[in-house]
Amino acid sequence: MNTVMMLTVILLPLAAGVLLPCLKLKNRKGKLAFVFAVLLAEAVCTVLLLCSDGAELTLFSMTQTLTVALRLDGVSKIFMAIAAFGFLFAGVFAFRYMEHSEREDGFFGFFLLSLGALMGMDCAKNLITMYLFFEMITLLSMPMVLHDRTQESVRAALKYLFYSVAGAFLALCCIFFLARYSTTLDFAPGGSLDMAKASGHESLLLVVIFLGVVGFGAKAGMYPLHGWLPTAHPVAPAPASAVLSGIIAKAGVLAILRIVYYSVGTKFLAGTWVQYAWLGLSLLTVFMGSMMAYREKTFKKRLAYSSVSQISYVLTGLFLMTATGTLGGLLHVLFHACIKVCLFLVAGSFIFNTGRHGVEEYRGIGKAMPKTLWAFTIASLALIGIPPASGFVSKWYLAAGALDGGLPVFSWLTPVVLLVSALLTAGYLLPITISGFFPGKDFEAPQRTNEGGILMWLPIAILAAVTLLLGIFAGPLVQWLSALAASIL
């Protein structure tokens, strides 16, 4: 039964995504009902899989050693949960946001196809399967960036494609070497590197693994292959930006997690120059992304730079290679997904209802859209890391993991960079709330809007509430992820 559901969460959105444009449904309500039914079924199947013990299935074998196979484990469940529910909320929001689009069928088609590819990667059993779905994610999500067909969106989509393909090429080279020096291509907690084969080739392997992780880091927006992210988000429709930032970018995180913890193993990497280089790049990305967001005046581009910074919080936790740091990274995978999907949907609601894109143009918007701005404020406090919101919990464990790790320089540099980034995050998010609710005496209050209707503000409100509740009731989640983090070191 678990195997059937695992196949369903992959094949259902893929089949629906192909079928939707072919059906050419003229009745918009029927079309939206079809999309909603698929997204809801996906969420239900995911919940059932979260409660299961696991599943495993070999789809086909190319050779005796190269197989395309699926397996459900603890890491799979984390990434499947954020994909299923993130796409559900963004999809419901898109029902209203995309109502005037001439290419709505194409958007929802690629929206569902991207979800299916993500689910396939989440359930991958080995490096070959993971790489196959990783490339599919790029090809199937790029049309959402290209949706408006403007010159700017075409350039942004091509940039996204080139960065992702270049990164994937580096990753593929890494996979070739790991196939030569590993006992198996299947993922195994602690890694499957054959130390007898690797003996005498350690320096070469470290270089190749370093480049492979940098390549996968392109999808996660890690420096130096981060440039596509702030270019793609401002031109993509807001629901696409929400899933690109909060969920699809996590494909890079998942690939890095599988390489470091399930293919190579932290025992081989800990204390090497590779670990220090990765930590240096991730902390540089955290600071740089926050600083660029602080200086940016376009709302969606500001959120895009914020994603560059925040996703590298996760990578920093993984690169610490300690149980506490890994726990902080896994927590931030979940929390950042909820927060950033919420924030991008808020941006979409602001743009949809006002037609304005600049941060400074949202002065007094709290008078016209109070529910949306309150949700933005709650999600912003969570992203900054103000207790008891969820972001505080993950950042606490990230800082504790760095302090406990005892790495030279990075044991104190990591908490410092995280603190500076939090201050910058407050600097680029909270002024929107302050000027939105308190525009000044000379400001003429705009007319109250319906905030895009229930299809817009309800997903935003639910996500904002979840970002708060996950922090207040984080205990069971922390306990479960602690056990998972300890089992993969």
Closest CA to 327 of 85, 84, 78: 78
Mean pLDDT of the chain: 90
pLDDT 10s digits, 267-304: 999 889 999 999 999 999 999 999 999 998 988 999 99
3-state DSSP assignment of residue 66: coil
- 436: CB partners within 8 A, 6+ apart: 362, 363, 364, 365, 366, 373
Residue 416: band (very low, low, confident or very high) from pLDDT cuts 50, 70, 90: very high
Which of 53-57, 58-62, 101-105, 109-113 reaches the highest mean pLDDT? Answer: 109-113
The answer to whether the beta carbons of residues 127 and 184 sit under 8 Å apart is no
Q: What is the DSSP letter of 358?
A: B
Amino acid at 342: C
The per-residue pLDDT for 62 is 82
Phi-psi domain of 446 (left: phi exceeds 0; alpha: psi -120 through 50; beta: other)? beta
What separation in angstroms does the CA of 100 have from each of 104, 113, 352? 8, 22, 11
Between the two ends of the chain, the Cα-to-Cα distance in Å is 31
Q: What is the dihedral of CA 371, 377, 380, 382, to 10 degrees?
A: -90
Say which residue, 61 or 169, is predicted with more confidence: 169
The answer to whether the beta carbons of residues 392 and 471 sit under 8 Å apart is yes
Q: Which residues are paired to 61 by β-bridges?
A: 67
3-state DSSP assignment of residue 125: coil
pLDDT 10s digits, 64-83: 778 889 999 889 999 999 99
Q: Which residues are paired to 126 by β-bridges?
A: 186
Q: Torsions phi, psi of 126, nearest 5?
A: -145, 175
pTM above 0.75, yes or no: yes
The answer to whether the beta carbons of residues 240 and 111 sit under 8 Å apart is yes
The tokens of 46 are what?
């995911």
CA 443-444-450 angle, to 5 degrees, is 120
The tokens of 455 are what?
């299809």
DSSP one-letter string for 176-239: HHHHHHBS-SB--TT--B-HHHHTT-HHHHHHHHHHHHHHHTTTTT-TTS-THHHHHTTTS-HH
pLDDT 10s digits, 314-368: 999 999 999 999 999 999 999 999 999 999 999 999 998 887 878 888 888 888 8
pLDDT 10s digits, 432-489: 999 888 877 777 766 677 777 888 899 999 999 999 999 999 999 999 999 999 988 8
The tokens of 26 are what?
């003229």
Closest CA to 216 of 268, 285, 282, 165: 165
The answer to whether the beta carbons of residues 71 and 125 sit under 8 Å apart is yes
Q: Tally Cβ neighbours within 10 Å of residue 430.
A: 15
Asked if residue 405 has pLDDT above 90, the reply is no
pLDDT (mean) for 122-139: 93
Q: Which residues are paired to 186 by β-bridges?
A: 126
Q: Tally Cβ neighbours within 10 Å of residue 203.
A: 10
